[in-house]
Structure 1
């Protein structure tokens, strides 16, 4: 499995050549999406395309193809690589131009690149749960845009791993936002709480799915802010994301969440998610 989509061509990885003048390399000047693939099909593609379109519009990068053509390309990429379970990574940069902060000339062609990863589902961590730590959210104020500028997320994730934790829960002055690479939810008195989908968090596609499943299961949910104190007194907590699906958090900063085991509401949502991806 080594065919990449580069512009409008399918090429072996060794033949993909990105210019050193690409603004994605210089400035992180680009947007991206990571799609889950189950049973050889893109999962929730419409949500990803909607978010991609918004991110590109907000940073003023023209999409090189229509969403319909993009979908056709990604479908062909999956088929060409015989991918059944894993992810598709796609990024679009503003293009190649001499290094300068202002936008390059309008005729500069955006650069599209995508590839497949064969990744197993995280069944062990979904079953057992993971630990987490908290840290200050010092990222910029447009976290709703899925751009290539991810150094703050990378540093936060590594900080968690250095502490022996699986994820870091970010907060701004004690108000929980999200995690380094996932959205975050808690359960209090049987009801679900998650940060509003504003500029301070990424509008996760799996987050959308979880809230939809909660509605179907008659689980009351609230998109409103909550604090570290609310988290530490919660009955359950979990993260959601393209690669982590619905993964329980069993302790935070060394303090047990609820019983210290994945809780019943989280289990219900996991089961509903399982039924969804299996058709």
Structure 2
């Protein structure tokens, strides 16, 4: 059976879903998105994703769609209709359809689409083994804090990693790590977790904020600053966070094993805490 998806107010089978060829998300990548994880059929950190979505729209001077206030209900209905117990809900809003022009249209109605994806997230095999990453130059635009659909270079980065026989890539700008292709990056030295400070250079991760809060509550020291690949290779541990991977250990960077080359204690414990606390707060 095909999935039920949502397009501008309608729930319909995915085969019947259509948007205009003039949609600016298609023509200009003029759109934003969010991915909310689902565990036990419930939404994780929905409020955080909604607040970031509002910020992304505001930063791009993009109007909220007419159905914006119904987003929680829409998410829940899609999860129920598609019988999703574990996975995620993808949401995308674009500026809408208008004749092609670089200038923003004055009267376009925003396009809003959502769909679900079922996949294993809590017991993902990679969480037990850790992932291996390569480093690549970060050549993205300067407003990475806005969660836009401009994902071509991150896709290229993942393909570079795949071609190298690895799992993902960490991006480097001016000699320092910014973030992963679709995640925030961390290293651990002693009892100190180190991750780049928030700015326009990186996405303000919802999972990142929660994990750092839980780390501090667990008496782990947190230092928000930049670090190099060389510093990461000499660290005791490394890991990434994202809505779809939670906390995922990194065991190798550019061919160099991190620590003992296996998931470290901090990453494993933070993953446990994150899942436990997120499950409590799920809606």
Cα pair 1:49 1:67 within 8 Å, conserved: no
Distance change (3 Å), C-alpha of 1:65 and 1:45: farther
Residue 3 in structure 1 maps to residue 4 in structure 2: yes
1:192-231 map, 5 Å = 192-231=193-232
Question: Could you list the per-position Cα deviations for residues 162-205 of structure 1 after superposition, in whole angstroms to 9, with x for gaps in the alignment?
Answer: 10110101111211110001111100122001011111111111
Residue in 2 that maps onto 1:107 = 107
Residue in 2 that maps onto 1:70 = 71
Matches of 1:84 and 1:260, distance apart in 2 = 33
Residue in 1 that maps onto 2:20 = 19
Residue in 1 that maps onto 2:99 = 98
Residue 118 in structure 1 maps to residue 118 in structure 2: yes
Structure 2: tracts of 5 or more residues without a match: none
Cα pair 2:9 2:67 within 8 Å, conserved: no
Residue 134 in structure 1 maps to residue 152 in structure 2: no
Matches of 2:258 and 2:32, distance apart in 1 = 35
- Secondary structure (helix, strand or coil) at the match of 1:57 reads helix
1:179-258 map, 5 Å = 179-258=180-259
Matches of 1:187 and 1:86, distance apart in 2 = 28
Cα pair 2:32 2:56 within 8 Å, conserved: yes
- Secondary structure (helix, strand or coil) at the match of 2:125 reads helix
- Secondary structure (helix, strand or coil) at the match of 1:231 reads helix
Matches of 2:7 and 2:199, distance apart in 1 = 32
Cα pair 2:45 2:278 within 8 Å, conserved: no
CA positional deviation for 1:82: 1.8
- Secondary structure (helix, strand or coil) at the match of 1:123 reads coil
Say what the alpha-carbon RMSD is for the aligned residues.
Answer: 1.3
More displaced stretch, 267-276 vs 18-27: 267-276
Structure 1: tracts of 5 or more residues without a match: none
Corresponding residue pairs, total: 278
Cα pair 1:94 1:111 within 8 Å, conserved: yes
Residue in 2 that maps onto 1:263 = 264
CA positional deviation for 1:277: 3.8
TM-score (norm 1): 0.96
- Secondary structure (helix, strand or coil) at the match of 1:168 reads strand
TM-score (norm 2): 0.95
Matches of 1:23 and 1:257, distance apart in 2 = 43
Matches of 2:132 and 2:15, distance apart in 1 = 38
Cα pair 1:141 1:199 within 8 Å, conserved: yes
CA positional deviation for 1:69: 1.6
Question: Could you list the per-position Cα deviations for residues 8-59 of structure 1 after superposition, in whole angstroms to 9, with x for gaps in the alignment?
Answer: 1111111111111111110111000011011111100111011100111111
Residue in 1 that maps onto 2:44 = 43
Task: Please list every run of at least 4 consecutive aligned residues from structure 1 whose deviation after the TM superposition is greater than 6 angstroms.
Answer: none
Cα pair 2:44 2:279 within 8 Å, conserved: no
